[in-house]
């Protein structure tokens, strides 16, 4: 059954009531894996403290969606394939809700399946009842697990320049993550949290880096004084983003704030 809820950049509807979801699970027969139209907005962290994985997954969907290891028969991590154990791609539920990631605004559940496969790959049994093996981690390692690429060295945010992360006019051309140690909770930058690094604002003198909290629509977004009129920083169908929308987890952060509040940046490449 194809989900009829479609993503709209300025008016995202909360699709927590998927028609395909029942107390026995959710199904997604016609997700973006059919045409590889993965969107970063599809990825939303749920109840599990695995921000590092969800941020990494979102980063790959952002910068290198073709590298996502989503296949008809399963999900690939490095060189290993985790078979899709249920033909209809059911997602286990707990009290009627998916026990892992949240379902994004487009209603697709591939991130949930991906997350479950990751748990299986990391050695979990039944993911809904034994989730410890993916609780907490390192975003850079998750990037490597997802893509099979090679990790960059850890980059100190204090050394950030516009050329630190390979990019195309500011748009990160490699999957990248940034993480905090202490963060700045007062400004909605949680501690020990991982963000997807999307790029830097393509001004002549870049003043902002663009990040995404993997909690997506439920994420707090730090205050910013971005006043540019072109509010749509990157418009790529079907997944345009808008960092002035404070309900998608995507935000532009002043470089100086980024340098002082974040603990590390890293990326993967071939």
Q: What does the per-residue mask of binding to another protein show for 233-262, with x meaning CB under 8 A? A: ------------------------------
Do residues 47 and 93 touch, judged by C-beta distance below 8 A? no
Which residue among 151, 173, 224, 259 contacts another protein (CB under 8 A)? 151
Task: By CB under 8 A, tell whether 130 contacts another protein.
Answer: yes
Task: By CB under 8 A, tell whether 190 contacts another protein.
Answer: yes
Least distance in angstroms from the C-beta of 62 to another protein: 18
Residue 39 or 56 with smaller CB distance to another protein: 56
Strands annotated E in 19-103: 21-22, 25-26, 43-44, 70-71, 74-77, 80-83, 93-94, 97-98, 102-103
Backbone angles phi, psi at 266, to 5 degrees: -160, 160
Least distance in angstroms from the C-beta of 109 to another protein: 15
Task: By CB under 8 A, tell whether 58 contacts another protein.
Answer: no
Query: Rounded CA gap, 166 and 162, in Å?
Result: 9
Whether omega before 238 lies within 30 degrees of 0, making that bond cis, reads yes
Total residues interacting with another protein, rule: CB under 8 A: 48
- Contact positions toward another protein, by CB under 8 A? 16, 45-52, 94-95, 97, 99, 102, 128-132, 135-142, 151, 153-154, 179, 181, 183, 185-186, 188, 190-194, 215, 218-220, 263-264, 266
């Amino acid at each position: 059954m194809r989900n009829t809820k479609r993503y709209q950049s300025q008016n995202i509807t909360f699709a927590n009531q998927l028609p395909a979801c029942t107390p026995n699970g959710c199904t997604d027969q016609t997700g973006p894996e059919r045409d590889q139209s993965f969107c970063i907005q599809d990825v939303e962290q749920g109840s599990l403290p695995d921000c590092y994985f969800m941020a990494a997954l979102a980063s790959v969907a952002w910068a290198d969606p073709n590298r996502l290891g989503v296949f008809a028969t399963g999900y690939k991590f490095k060189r290993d394939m985790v078979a899709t154990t249920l033909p209809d791609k059911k997602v286990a539920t707990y009290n009627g809700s998916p026990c892992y990631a949240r379902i994004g605004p487009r209603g697709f559940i591939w991130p949930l399946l991906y997350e479950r496969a990751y748990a299986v790959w990391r050695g979990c049994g039944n993911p809904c009842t034994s989730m410890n093996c993916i609780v907490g981690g390192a975003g850079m390692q998750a990037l490597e697990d997802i893509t099979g690429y090679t990790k960059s060295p850890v980059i100190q945010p204090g050394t950030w320049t516009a050329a630190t992360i390979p990019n195309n006019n500011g748009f990160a051309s490699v999957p990248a993550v940034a993480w905090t140690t202490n963060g700045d909770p007062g400004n909605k930058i949680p501690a020990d949290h991982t963000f997807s690094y999307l790029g830097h604002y393509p001004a002549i003198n870049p003043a902002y880096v663009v990040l995404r909290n993997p909690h997506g629509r439920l994420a707090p977004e730090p205050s910013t004084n971005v006043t540019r009129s072109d509010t749509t920083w990157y418009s790529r169908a079907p997944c345009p983003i808008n960092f002035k929308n404070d309900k998608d987890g995507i935000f532009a952060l002043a470089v100086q704030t980024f340098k002082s509040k974040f603990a590390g940046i890293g990326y993967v490449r071939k």
